[in-house]
Structure 1
Amino acid sequence: MRDPLAPPSLRRSAVVFDVAVGAVAVLVAIASSEGQTVWMAVSGGLIALGLLVRRRLPTVMMTTAVASAVIQVASMHITVLSLLYAPMFFTAGGHPDRRVRRGAFVVAVVGSFVAGAVFPHAYGDFQTGDGGLGWATVFGTVGTGVVVLGGWTAGFVGHQRRSVAAAEVSETISELERRRVLDLYDEQAERSRLARDMHDVVAHSLAVVVAQAEGAKYTLDANPDAARDALGVIADTAREALADVRTVLEQLRSTESAGEIDRDDRDQLLDRMRAAGMRIEETEVGSADDVAVASVRVAHAVLTESLTNALKYGDLAHAVTVHHDWTSGCRLTVGNVVADTPLAPGGARHGIIGMTERAAHVGGAVSSEPSGDTWVVQLTIPDTEGTRT
């Protein structure tokens, strides 16, 4: 049964690290168990168990931490493994659930005072007459506070940093989504305008041609001159229609050139992502100038979507790799480490579907799949459209 407080996913390296720390704690507990009571050994074992599962099973971690503390208070003995409460409170302080963070803080504060009260009895027989008991209580309280509240504070600061990063990422994602919607709106508006222009040209010209052809058919025998004139009108109309169609096509070409993606556009995209806290390692082979305009536009759209997904679901502590290969077409590879706790979990996969459709329009293909701890998006567009002119 899955722990309801556990993160949605954990990298293998994090699990291995927790197992290693837990194993070390077990060895320390065994080494220090000589001369101790059974309850101290049990308390140390519970602490080691809590460390072992602190991220996979946070509920078990908190239960074992409290249980080991209760045993130490009841037996009036403090195990040296209590220093390992720090990483457990670090995990609780950085937990995404506010109730866990607040609960852990309360436990840390109360536990510090309780430990201060137990400390004089656990380490020596202090007499109240010379103030030794008071100083021992203060020392125990402060020392415990440094361990548990220090660990909690470090975890909470990490959580706050992640929250700020998530807010910045959300703002960047919103801006990218807004721009994408505007681009789609402009593209649809341009399609509608071109459709109207083509309709006007074709419908008007064909109507004239049909009318003149019908007239010429009925007057060909009775009035050859009128039929000849009608054929002349048909020819003139066809030439004008051809010129109008060429004009519309020129407009289409000029629109495509106006929206051409260049290196500055890519640099602006990368700068926006870096401003959101992403580290990007970019490499490039060949030049985009040697690839068809449509392929460059699709590559830029796929790069934008891939980096957006890396912001949503990637671990910003690791760099995102971007590699362009413009030789023999276009090959774009974007890789990012998947975060244990994504800044924007969920998703309907519309972005991947959109990338696939865009690539298909230019004869390319997109793959988007995990490779170990890394998510890799790869776009491949063959050199079937020729180079730029």
Structure 2
Amino acid sequence: MSFELKEFLGRFRKDSFKNLLKSEQSVLGVDIGSSSIKIVQLRKEKERAILETYGEVFTGPYGGMEIGQPVKLNAGKTAEAIKDVLKEAGAKATVARVAIPLNSSFVKVIQLPVSAEGDLENVITIEARRHVPVPISEVSLDWWVMPKTEKEKEENNKTIEVMLVAIHNDVINTYKDIIAKSGLTAAAYEMEPFGMIRSAIGRGSSTIAVIDFGASSTKMAILDYGIMRESRFISKGSHDLTRALSQSTGVDLARAEELKRRVGLSDLPEHKEIMEVMQPILSYIFHEANASLKNFQSKYKRSVSKIVFTGGGALLKGIASFGVKEFTIEVDLADPFSKTEHPVFLSNVLREIGLSFSVALGLALGEL
């Protein structure tokens, strides 16, 4: 199974995209984050994903803020930043898959009687009114019937699980406006967890959690043999660590960021004060993530076997070891660019920066 829901948000997919690909061999993944915009351009060649270029632009200066600071830009400024990073990276592709932030989406797994499968569209529309916290007329719906294991079929053949997704029409329209102003054509809009999942893990993996440490938030998804069973948005990210260090030490944000990256999660006595500043924020993030792990275990009667960290915040020194202590299970760092073919001399660089590009890369992979 692919990581998409019926070509996820397929209702927003351009019908003519297959024709576009005849002349447009390269595709873009566009990840519009809270503090930067990242793009990855890939080309498919004999079932291989060829990395052509990538780039990142910090959005703070476009909104009168410092580099690295989260900022909310209007459509025009966002499009300006996208144009700049495309130019800087030398990207020539014009067809893109674009990420929709998890916090702009409503995602819930609901249970329905098996009899509902015969009239699922009408049943989903009715059920959505019970679950979606805004009027149904204001959102676009998508859903996917989640497959069961043989054991699950034996234990319960009376109900089905359906992943229900709702995205506010205003959000979709805003992203359409941004992409149009950028001079790009959106092949599809996809919720960001699907991009991070696609780039972070391989096919056929068992029960794995992926945690994406962003600047202003942390996103989590739990996959069970390739099926996303649970997602979670945590309203703390790596910039919260930087801001806390800045306030505690009295240095500016740039110096605090440098301090965070240099020291990381050190257990040396001379770094005790720095750890004491970051500890409450990290504890909150890991506490929320642990709640999802426990909820999954309670619901499905099995445990996550491994956690994969990704996102720019996962570049923090020692975070994998810290994760092992917090979760008491195996923790790995993702290597997104390992899914592409690229010049050997770039391998070390791409391994170092790849965590930041996980969503953008996963989006581009989804279009190949």
TM bin, normalised by shorter chain, reads under 0.3
Higher helix share: 1
TM-score (norm 2): 0.21
